[in-house]
Structure 1
């Protein structure tokens, strides 16, 4: 999946969306996405194939299982495999739900 395809897919959720970070403070809920790593196949000091892995982060002020389900259904509809992680950011008083795709 490309960065552009990830962006287009996430726009369907209709939440504020930014690559890596917003330039100004946002009121949750909102989404942030970024390249988390790039896996490369290489030989003889040449990269023959590379594949980007992405992180999608959903930020909410309270646990929102319905919104998480909407995002997961979107990923599944696009046949995107994901791993899900959850954290509470005490200093921000927000939940962070992270999807690695």
Structure 2
């Protein structure tokens, strides 16, 4: 899956989406999604990269628990055959909930 396909897929869920972060002063009201490519977990053979694997972090920011928004992301990832791990954090300083989806493409 390409970077453009990830962006378009997340955008199709109906929430504002940005790579890495929104510009200062341009942060939308939650819920919104931020995604980034956090690294690689490549498979090697004969000393070279045989299969390139990119790690992707998708973060959902909400003011309160939003099962509908989480479900949309989960369904999109499942439909696109993306295995994911999910974690959740409360950001005290922002009074926001952050739900992280980690996957590889």
**Distance across 1 between alignment mates of 2:75 and 2:46:** 42
Equivalent residue number for residue 78 of structure 2: 76
Q: Is the 8 A contact 1:87 1:96 kept in 2?
A: yes
- What is the TM-score when the length of structure 1 is the normalising length? 0.88
Describe the superposition over 1:25-72 as per-residue Cα deviations: whole angstroms up to 9, x where unpaired.
331110001002212234676434321110000000111112111211
**Distance across 1 between alignment mates of 2:90 and 2:17:** 20
**Distance across 1 between alignment mates of 2:2 and 2:101:** 16
Equivalent residue number for residue 18 of structure 2: 18
What runs of 5+ residues in structure 1 fail to find an aligned partner? none
CA 1:80–1:43: 2 relative to 1, 3 Å: closer
Q: Does 1:87 align with 2:89?
A: yes
Q: Is the 8 A contact 1:2 1:52 kept in 2?
A: no
**Distance across 1 between alignment mates of 2:79 and 2:51:** 26
| 3-state SS of 1:5 partner | helix
Q: Is the 8 A contact 1:39 1:52 kept in 2?
A: yes
